[in-house]
Structure 1
Amino acid sequence: MTTTFTTGKVTLLSAGPGDLDLLTIKAAKALAAADVVLLDDLANPEIVSLAPRARVIRVGKRGGCRSTPQAFIQRLMTRYASKGLHVVRVKGGDALLFGRAGEELAALKRADIPFDIVNGISSGFAAAASLGISLTHREHCQGVTFITAHMQDHGEPDWATLAATGTTLAIYMGMSRIENLCAKLMATLPAGTPAAVVQWAGGANERRLVTTLGRLAAEAQAAQLGSPAVILVGDAIGEAEAFDAIAPRYDSRDSLAHAA
């Protein structure tokens, strides 16, 4: 008797910032077809209602909290896919931005497991939409830089160099280091530079703070804002309606003069 093994596949699925209405149609189709769902801790748990026939395994990863080891998640993906099942790895935000997708894709390639990727909305974009601003407003900046404050070697980015890029900074996983990163950014940027924190961006429990770089750390701590949150820094944040009440006379040219 010959045993035939059928290889399934893995879908790396972007769950977006939390609002299920922001899922793509492609994401909904993948969930409906899933046999196994590996659910990220930051994803809206109600997303499993779109995968009625799937076995759901929670594989949360949160900074400062007990997390499922990355190697174990990768073994689960390959194990179930090797049995011919469609595994959907649900990741918060966009799967390809700060979600260890590179490690998971490498593991799937080594195991010769077919995969596809479903893009979604990162929390940085959800935060901008919530504030009603463009991250790349051409009157204020020349682009946007997405950066994580939580580096693999436990070091930190070169904040002064990032501040000098002239881009809007969208900082992920920075709340535990907010006081230090603000101080480092102010080595290049003036204290009056517009800044914001959006916690649980795009979700039903979203919280927002719009202020200046010099006041950001103290006000975020006073408001008890924490992870998951996106920190936004740059002149483009001054377009937020809430900023008018804080610094109505702020002129973005002051920031450019300071950096020159």
Structure 2
Amino acid sequence: MTDLSYPEFNAGEVWLVGAGPGDPRLLTLFAVHAIRSGDVVVHDDLIDRRILDFAAPEATIVSAGKRGGKPSPHQSDINGRLIELAREGRKVVRLKGGDPFVFGRGGEEAQALAAAGISFRIIPGLTSGLTAAALNGIPATTRLTNHAVILATGHRALDEAAERDWAAMARTGQPIIFYMAMSNLERIASVMMAAGLAADTPVTIIASATYDSERALDTTLASAVTDARDNGIGAPAIIIIGGNAALRPVLLPHLLRSAP
């Protein structure tokens, strides 16, 4: 087996680690090394508990989960806690779902650490949008369908700026992968159809991707809200809008899937 070497995890450092979409098998080797090496792990809410089992027995486990619509710590409080732990001389693992820099607020935490003079390392993870799509037979790109793909957050206030963004995305004609959009799906679909996206545009909604409870729904832009409600599909979910979603029914019958 190849002998891999890793940088030393020094006291007073913070490592921002991507935990992937959920299934522990989708962790990177670097992520596993980091979790095993830290003496405190500050983790998001949507982290599979099996991932925390990689932590050293003596490590301190700290929950810093943020969930929409539920009591959650403020981001400034999380930033302050990371800085405090690092200044105590701890080896701090900040474990974040997906990739730290893709809708994970890792950029905000990195800026706070830099401003405080704290050394940090970024360990990327598989982002849930692209991973959920791929595991369900939806290529993010193919040569015959698209030359770009849009990653977007739907977790925004319903204001004119958000609606302008969604309309602009629709006009590109490129597939859109939405994170955190279930609560705003009805308005997103309405804005996109008003901007010219066809009502029968294929949509796939993947809830709880990579977990035992994963469910996927194939629908259309016009029917997505009703179909999701009728089938009990809710957050957390990834929503794929565009022609690539139509490939799922074609590929799925021959796609080998591993149970979580």
Common fold, TM-score beyond 0.5? yes
Count, aligned residues: 239
1:120 aligns with 2:130: no
Deviation at 1:25, TM superposition (A): 0.3
Corresponding residue number in structure 1 for 2:73: 68
Is the counterpart of residue 11 in structure 1 residue 19 in structure 2? Answer: no
1:208 is the counterpart of 2:216: yes
TM-score, with structure 1 as normaliser: 0.87
User: What runs of 5+ residues in structure 1 fail to find an aligned partner?
Assistant: 1-5, 246-260
In the alignment, which residue of structure 1 is the partner of 2:205? 197
Distance 1:26 1:127 in 2: 21
Q: State the partner residue of 1:132.
A: 137
Aligned match of 1:20 = 24
Letter in 1 for 2:24: L
Aligned to 1:222, which of 226, 230, 233? 230
What whole-Å deviation, never above 9, does each CA across 1:12-62 have from its counterpart, x for those lacking one?
A: 110111000000000000001011100100111221110023100111101
**1:256 alignment counterpart:** none
1:186 is displaced (CA, Å) by 1.2
Max radius of gyration: which structure? 1
Picking from 62, 71, 89, the partner of 2:94 is 89
Q: Identify which of 171, 182, 207 aligns with 1:164.
A: 171
Any conservation in 1 of the 2:134–2:140 contact (CA below 8 Å)?
no
Counting aligned pairs with the same residue, the percent is 39
Give the direction of change, closer, same or farther, for the CA distance of 1:154–1:87 in structure 2 (3 Å limit).
farther
Q: Is the 8 A contact 1:135 1:237 kept in 2?
A: no
Task: State the distance in 2 between where 1:74 and 1:37 align.
Answer: 14
- Displacement over 2 Å in runs of 4+: 153-158, 242-245
Q: Provide the alpha-carbon RMSD of the alignment.
A: 1.8
Tell me how far apart the structure 2 counterparts of residues 64 and 34 of structure 1 sit (CA, whole Å).
31
Per-residue CA shift, 1:61-89, capped at 9, x if unaligned?
A: 01111111111111111111112111001
Cα distance in 2, alignment partners of residues 211 and 28 from structure 1: 37
Is the 2:163–2:191 Cα contact (8 Å) retained in structure 1?
no
Measure the CA separation in 1 of the matches of 2:213 and 2:59: 27
SS of aligned partner of 1:50: coil
CA contact (8 A) 2:14 2:91 kept: yes
| TM-score in terms of structure 2 length | 0.87
Instruction: Structure 2: give runs of 5+ residues left out of the alignment.
Output: 1-9, 254-260
Shift in Å, 1:244: 9.8
Task: Report the Cα distance in structure 2 between the residues aligned to 1:60 and 1:25, rounded to whole angstroms.
Answer: 24
